[in-house]
A and B are shown apart, each in its own frame.
Chain A
Amino acid sequence: MIGFKRQGKISVLLMCNTSKNTMEIKIDPDKCIGCGTCAAIAPGSFKMNDETNKAEVINPVTDSEETTKMGAESCPTAAIVIE
């Protein structure tokens, strides 16, 4: 089950895997500076929006959980939070 919800300006992607793991990926557009590192590290999780030059979550995510987390952790401004 995959769904989107909006909390103010922060886009949130909810993912439910077949396992019990649920990851919630949040990108804060005010923090994102558009460097593209997340999309380079985890191209199945994040992409750059050509108009806003901000990172977005890809729906559905096709990377492994480990790759998604690495992409999030590589953000130089810590704009991506996984819960």
Chain B
Amino acid sequence: MSKEAKIRDKEGKAWLYTDVVKDHFFNPKNLLKHGEEENYNADASGRVGSPACGDEMALWLKIDKKSERITECKWQTFGCASAIASTSMLSVMVTENGGMKVDDALKIKPQDILARLGGLPARKVHCSVLGDQALRTAINDWFQKTGQNQRIINV
């Protein structure tokens, strides 16, 4: 279980997101630039919104059909620092080391992303769930497009 990070120190001055969160917020990985989505040849995509804060997340996947490994994971969001950092980290997790198999990607828990980020404040955890939900929606889209409806899961 990841340790909870505090937003402020006792004096209310410091910004105590972890360095990893800050890095992924300021330098998001695998971001699909605005305007590129039309020419991006994705095998599957997913879009979810959060009723909690109005955030929206869109995610695109390229999946090797034979090995079922995720070769590319791109995303865009109207979201906060936590949503950006969490989804950036998630996109790294599913594509590193030759890419994760879709079945393994579906096993990723929000806690796994939080652990890699070094924690988020409890009240910001709901933002980190958005990327995970978009990934599941995109994988379901891939199941549907490849005629594997029996593998579709609850998002």
Contacts and interface: CB of A to CB of B under 8 A. Distances in A.
Interface of A: 33-37, 40-41, 66-67, 70, 73-77
Interface stretch (B24-32, B61-69, B89-97, B120-128): B120-128
Given A40-B133, A73-B122, A34 B110 contact: no
A74 B125 CA distance: 6
A33 B52 CA distance: 7
A51 B53 CA distance: 22
Interface of B: 1, 50-53, 109-111, 122-123, 125-126, 129, 132-133
A74 B1 contact: no
A35 B125 contact: no
A82 to B, nearest CB: 13
A24 B119 CA distance: 26
Contacts of B110: 37, 40-41
Contact of A40 (B51, B122, B123, B132): B132
